[in-house]
Amino acid sequence: MSATPNFAAAKPFVSHPIHLTLNRRDIQLDVLPWTTLLDLLREQLDLTGTKKGCDHGQCGACTVLLNGKRVNACLTLAVMCDGAELTTIEGLASGEDLHPMQQAFIKHDAFQCGYCTPGQICSAIGMAEEIKRGMPSAVTEDVAAYNIDFSDEEIRERMSGNLCRCGAYNGIVEAVRETFAEEIAL
């Protein structure tokens, strides 16, 4: 019996077809089962706005919106997105008109180096939707109440999964508060 493996008999890697709506465009492509959403976006689709920070789900630089909810693209397999609606930082603006959160980040100097900014912005948009749905956080005083106090403490807690090495947190909180204060005040 030979100890040499028979590579000719080995099955090739099988890619999986997926269909998704990416930044309001329908796309279909084949992905290998271990491809992360982050690698799909950056390496196959050339959407480099979503950043690879830690690649362990700890920094939030890769945050995107999957069916309107924020997810870490580095921890999400691309095959899990079949049939989903996906929004990245590149899909927030309408033509030349920036999303209000993007405008607020500029106005409030909510970034310095800008590396974490795409993830921060996508996370803030997802966070606002969570508050509107009445989802409590660790600092929500009354978890049974639908109205959630839109305080700086609440914003900071909900954005705590997104790290900024430059320390632009005060500007981030101001940008989030300004963008969503009226919309979230229920």
All domains in the chain, ordered by first residue: 17-91 (3.10.20.30), 100-184 (1.10.150.120)
pLDDT > 70 in the chain, percent = 90
| Cβ contact 84:20 at 8 Å | yes
> Residue 90 and residue 47: Cα distance in Å, rounded?
7
Q: Residue 60, class by beta-carbon neighbours within 10 Å (0-12 exposed, 13-18 middle, 19+ buried)?
A: buried
Angstrom distance (rounded) from CA 10 to CA 129: 47
Radius of gyration of the CA atoms of the chain, in A: 19
Task: Of 88, 74, 75, 70, give the one whose Cα is nearest residue 159.
Answer: 70
Cα–Cα distances in angstroms (integers) from residue 68 to residues 35, 65, 164, in the given order: 21, 5, 23
Distance between CA atoms of residues 153 and 14, nearest Å: 47
Say which range, 49-53, 88-92, 180-184, has the weakest mean pLDDT: 180-184
Q: Which two tokens stand for residue 39?
A: 């690698």
Residue pLDDT, tens place only, 131-176: 888 888 888 887 776 677 788 999 999 999 999 999 999 999 999 9
Predicted TM-score of the model (pTM): 0.90
